[in-house]
Structure 1
Amino acid sequence: MNQAQAVASPSQLGANRWGHPRQLWMLLGVTVWFNFAFYGFRAFLAPYIAQHFYAGLGAAAAQRQADLLGSGFLALLYATPIVGGYVADKVLGETRALAMSFWLAVLALLLMASPTLFGFELGMALCALAIGLSIPLTVLIGRNYATDDARRDGGYTLYYLAINVGSFIAPIVCASWIGRHYGYRWGFVAAAAGMALSAIWFQWRKHKLDPVLPKGDHLHGPMASVWVLLGVAVLVYPTALLLGYPEVLRGAMYVLMGLLVLYFVVSCVRRRDRVQTQRYLALLVLFVGLVVFWALSLQGVTSLNFLARDYVDAPWDFSWFQSANPLFILIFAPFLAMLWPWLERRGRDPSTPRKFGIGILLVALSYGVLVYAIDHLQGADGHIGWWTLVLCYLLQTLGELALSPIGYALVGQLAAPEESSLAMGGWFFGVAIAYQLAGWIATLTTHASATGASGGIVEYARVYGHVFVWGLGVAVVFLLAAPLVRKLMHGVH
C-alpha cells in the first residue's frame, strides 16, 4: 500500500474518544464484524466441503479433497491483496476500495451457501477477489495518527484485539450454534450477516475519514468503480476454475513467489547497497521461518479440525476448538506485551530471529503433545481427551505471539523505503504459501491402507510425529543462527 503520510488537520487528529482518535473506534467495530465473517466460515469450512460435496468418495478421499480445496481457497485470500493493494492505491482510493470489498464479500458468502459445488466455488472465487480489496483497513488504522503520535502502537494493539474478539465469537455463533443446529450452509449466511454489518457501518461513516486520507485519494473518477467491478466479474469464473485444480493453483503461487524473490534480487544488484542487500537476505530467512510456522499452525483449519471432529472427546461441538486460539490471544497478549519491554530493560529481550525460533519451537512442541496423547492417553474408544487439543492450541498461540506481531513491523524496517509496500505484500503472500503447504501436510493424515480404509488416528500420530521432528529441527537452526541473522539486519532489533 501507498505509505505516503495523510494530510490531516490537528483538530481532526485531536478529536479523541477514550484516549484515541474518534474514527478509530468505528474502524475497530468494522474489524470485529469483518473477522467474525472470515473466522465464522473458516471454523467449519473443510469438514463442510468433505461432507457436502465429496462424501461419495469415501471418508479419506473426501477429507483429502476438502483439505486441498479449502487450503487453496484460503491461500488465495492472502495472495490477492498484492493486486488489491495496487487497485486501492492507484484506481479506487482506500475508502472506496474497502467499501467495495465489504459489499462484494457479502454477496460471495451468500453464494458459498449454494447447494452445488460449482456455485460454492464461484462464491469462493468472488470472496478471494473481494478480500483482496480489503487491505486498506490495516492502513486506515494508522492514518488516524500523526507520524510522531505515541498512541499509534496502542491503536494497532486495539486493532489486534478487535480481530481476535471477532474470531473468538464467530465459531461459536456460525458453527456451533447456527451451523450445528440449522445446517452449516446457514453458517455462511450468518457470516454474510456479520460482513453486512461491517459494510453498512463503514458505508455510513467512511466520509469521516476524508481528512486523514492521502493526497490524491479523491482524484479517482466515478468510472473507476465500474471498471473494477467489470474486472472482478471477468475474473470470477477463471478463478473458480483455478480452485478446482489445486495442483495448478499451488504451482502458480510458487511461480509468483519466485518472481517476487527474483524482483528483489535484481533490485539488490541494481542498487549495489551492501547493507540493504544483507537486510533483504535476513528478511528472506525470516520469511522462511514465517512460512514454516504458519504451515504447521494452520493445521487448525484442516487436519486438526477433522481430528477434533472424529477423535477428541469433548462436551461441546468440535468447532468450539476454533475459538481457543483467539481466546488465548486475548488472555496472554497483554502479558507478553509487558514481558518484552521488561526483558529489554534488563538486557535480555530475545532478538527477532530468536523469537522466530521460539515461535517455531512452541508450535513443534504442540504436535509433540498430540503424539504423546495418541500413543499413551488414548481411551478405549480410540479417542483422546479434549484438554490435549486445548494444550496444543495454547502452545501454538504462545508461539504466534512470539513471532507474528513483530513480523509486520520488521518488514517496514528491513525493506527499502521505496519497496516497503511490495515487501509487505510479499510477507502476506508468505501466509498464502503456508496455507498451501498446510493443505498438503493435512492430506498426509488421510493415507489409506491396502483395503482402502483410512488409517484413523494412527495416521495423525504418524504425520504429527514428523511435523514435531522437522519443526524442532527448524527451530534449532533458527536459534543457533540468530546471531548471524541479526548481524545481517544491521542494527534492526
Structure 2
Amino acid sequence: MSSTRKHPAALPFLFFSEMWERFGFYLLLAILQMYLTDAETGGWAMDRKTAVDIFGTFIAFVYLTPFVGGLLADRKIGYIQSIIWGGILMGIGYCGLAVHNLTVFYASLALICIGNGFFKPNISTLLGNVYNDERYKELKDTGYNIFYMGINLGAFTCTFIAAYLRNTIGWGAAFIAAGIGMFIGVIIFVIGLKHYRHADVRKPEQPGDMSLNSIFAQVFIPVLVVGAIGWFIPGNIFGTDSTDAFIFACLPIVYFFANLLRKAGATDKQPVKALLAIFAVSILFWAVFKQNGTALTTWAQYYTDREMPAALVAPAKTLMLSETVTNKQDSVVAYDHEFRVIKNEKGQPVKELGKPVYLKNVAPEKMPPEGESINLINTEQFQSVNPFFVIILTPLVVAFFAFLRKRKKEPSTPTKIAWGLVISSLSTFMMVGAVMACGNGQEKASFWWLFGCYGVITAGELLLSPMGLSLVSKLSPPRLTSLMMGGWFLATSMGNKLSGVLAATWDLYENKANYFLVNFVLLIFSAGIIFVMLRWLNRVFRANT
C-alpha cells in the first residue's frame, strides 16, 4: 500500500456496499407508513395507530437481530459470510413486499429483519477491524464519519426513486427497487473481498466465556418464551400485544448484558460498564429520531404546505416526481379532523363526495381556483432532507474535528455524544414553532419548519450515531467487539420501538405542540444524564484507547 494513502483501500468498497444496503432500507422506511395507511392507490388502508405499531415493531426487530448476528459472526460464521448472506436475505425480503398478500408481507419483513441482523453489525465491525491497523488508528472517527455519509447517500437518493416508481407503476415497483439496490450492494462487497479478508478475524471462546449453546439456552429460548407470554397475556400492559411482547423479550437480553458486566475481568469491566451506560442513554435519542418515518411523515403528509415552487413544476412533472391534486368535487375517501380514514362497521374506507384530503386545511389564499390543479412534493421526499444535511455537514464536521485534532483540542468521543443529545433536543422546538405558526393544523405550515427540524437534529445525529459506532469499536474488549456492537443496535432497537409507542399517541394530543414538547423532555433528560457521567466516561475512554 502506498505510504501516501490516508485511508485503507477497503473503505470505498464498504462505503458503497453500505450505501446500497441503506438505499433499500430507507426506501422502505420512507414509504412504509404511507403504504400501510393508503386507502386509495393499493395500500392496506390500516388505521394510523396500527400502522405506526407495525412500523415501530419492524424497525425495533431490525435493530434487535444484530445481537444474534454479531454473536454468530464473532464465534462461528465470520463477518464476510454473515454480510453476504444477510444482504441476500434482505434483497429477497424487499422483493417479497411487492406481493400484495398479508402473510407474504409479514414474512418479507421478517426476512429483512433477519438479514439485517447479519449484515448491519458485521459490516461496521469489519470496518473497525480494518482501521485497527496502526497506520489508520488515528483516522477511525473520520473513517466512520465517511462510512456514515455513504449510508446517507443511499438514504437521500432512494426517496426520488420511490416517488417515481410509486407515481408511475405502483407500490410494488418501489419495493423491488429496494431489493435490486441490496443485491448491488452485495456484489460490490464481494468484488472488494481482497481488501478486507484479513480483517475477518473470528473471536473464539475464551476461558470464562459463555458457550453458544449456553447463550441460546439462557438467552434466546427465554426470549421466545417471555416474548410469547407478553403477546398472550390478557389485555395490553404497554398499549399493544406487539409492544408487550417486544418489551418482555428484551428482558433476557438486558439480563445477558448485565451478567456479562458482572463476569467481566478487571481490565474489561470499566469499558463494558461505560458502553452499557452509553447504550442506555442512546435509547431516548432513537425514540425521537426515528419518528421521521411516523409522526413527522404524518406532519409532512397532512400538515405541511407541499405545493411545489413554480420553477420546479415542469422538471418534476417530466420526471414524475410530483403529486397532483385538483380542486373539484369527486368521490373520495373520507377523513376526519385528525386526517384519519373513516371506516364503516366492516372496517372498509368510507367514500364521500368531496375534495382531495390535502385541500382540507389549505389556506384560502393558497387554494387553487375551482377545477384547477396544483403540484405537490411527494411526502416521502421530505425524508431526503435528513440525509441531505448529513452529506452537506459531514465534510464540515470532519474538517472541524481535524482542525481541533491538530491543535490537540479535539473533544473525546463521549463528549461529542453528550453535545449531540443537546443539539438534537433543540430540533423539537422547530416543530413546536411549526404547530404555533399553522394554528395547530388549521392551515398548513411552511415546509421550512420541517426542513429546519431535520437540519438541527442532523447536526446532533452526526455527533452521536457515527460516534457511537466508533466508541464501541474503540472501547470494546477485542473478543467482545461484535457482541458489543450488537448491544449498540439493541439499544437502537429499544429506542425504535419506543418511537412507535410515542407516535401511536399522536392522536391523543389535541395540541400537537405538546407532543413535540414531550420529545424535548426525553432528549434533554438523556443529555443531562450523560453530562453527569461525562467525567467518569472520559476517564474510562482515555484509559482504554
**TM-score with structure 1 setting the length:** 0.79
Structure 2 unmatched runs, 5+? 204-223, 232-239, 309-376
More helix by share: 1
Residues 261, 273 of structure 2: 8 Å contact kept: no
Distance in 1 of aligned mates of 2:472 and 2:537:
14
Q: Which residue of 2 aligns with 1:290?
A: 282
Residue in structure 2 matched with residue 466 of structure 1 by the alignment = 518
Cross-structure match for 1:199? 186
Match of residue 104 from structure 1: 89
Q: How does 1:194-343 map to 2 (within 5 A)?
A: 194-203=181-190, 205=191, 208=194, 212=198, 214=200, 245-268=241-264, 271=265, 273=266, 276-314=268-306, 315=308, 316-343=377-404
Q: Which amino acid in 2 is paired with 1:76?
A: F
Query: What CA deviation, in whole Å up to 9, does each residue of 1:415-451 have, x standing for no partner?
Result: 333333322211121111110111111111022xxxx
Q: Residue 124 and residue 402 in structure 1: after superposition, are their counterparts in 2 closer, same or farther (change >3 A)? A: same
| Structure-2 residue corresponding to 1:231 | none
**What whole-Å deviation, never above 9, does each CA across 1:220-261 have from its counterpart, x for those lacking one?**
xxxxxxxxxxxxxxx9xx99x98x941244224421442233
Give the whole-Å Cα distance in 1 for the aligned partners of 2:432 and 2:109.
34
Distance in 2, Cα, partners of 1:377 & 1:41: 30
Change (3 A) 1:143 1:470: closer
Contact 1:143 1:212 in 2 (8 A): no
| Alpha-carbon distance change, 283 to 87 in structure 1, aligned in 2, over 3 angstroms | closer
How do 1:46-445 and structure 2 match up within 5 A?
A: 46-51=33-38, 62-134=47-119, 135-142=121-128, 147-150=133-136, 153=140, 155-174=143-162, 176-203=163-190, 205=191, 208=194, 212=198, 214=200, 245-268=241-264, 271=265, 273=266, 276-314=268-306, 315=308, 316-344=377-405, 349-378=410-439, 381-445=442-506
Residues 309/93 of structure 1: CA separation in 2 closer, same or farther (3 Å cut): same
User: Which residue in 1 is equivalent to 2:348?
Assistant: none
| Structure 1 pair 161–18 and aligned structure 2 pair: CA distance change class (3 A) | farther
The one-letter amino acid paired with 1:338 is: A
Deviation at residue 15 of structure 1 after TM alignment: 7.7
Take 1:379 and 1:467, find their aligned partners in 2: how far apart are those partners?
Answer: 17
Aligned residues: 441
The gaps in structure 1 that reach 5 residues or longer are 1-13, 218-234, 448-454
Give the direction of change, closer, same or farther, for the CA distance of 1:15–1:129 in structure 2 (3 Å limit).
farther
Question: Is contact 1:27-1:137 (8 Å) kept?
Answer: yes
Which of the residues 494, 514, 534 maps onto 1:482? 534
- Seen in structure 2, the aligned counterparts of structure 1 residues 127 and 374 have a Cα distance that, compared at 3 Å, is same
- Residue range with higher mean Cα deviation, 205-214 or 330-339: 205-214
RMSD of aligned residue pairs (Cα, Å): 3.3
Classify 1:17/1:111 alpha carbon distance in 2 versus 1 (closer, same or farther; 3 Å): farther
TM-score normalised per structure 2: 0.72
1:307 partner amino acid: W
Following TM superposition, by how much is the alpha carbon of 1:64 offset from its aligned partner in structure 2, in angstroms? 1.1
Q: Aligned partners of 1:46 and 1:281: how far apart in 2?
A: 37
Q: Which amino acid aligns with 1:258?
A: V
d(CA) in 2 for partners of 1:92, 1:437: 32
How has the CA–CA distance of structure 1 residues 418 and 214 changed in structure 2, closer, same or farther, with 3 Å as cutoff?
closer
The 1:18/1:353 distance shift into structure 2, 3 A limit, reads closer
AA matched with 1:482: L
Q: CA deviation at 1:399?
A: 0.4
Contact 1:361–1:399 (CA under 8 A) maintained in structure 2: yes
Secondary structure, counterpart of 2:466 in structure 1 = helix
Taking a change above 3 Å as real, the CA distance of residues 206 and 253 of structure 1, as seen in their structure-2 partners, is farther
Q: One-letter code of the match for 1:150? A: Y
Cα distance in 2 for partners of 1:263, 1:409 equals 24
Aligned partners of 1:300 and 1:347: how far apart in 2? 37
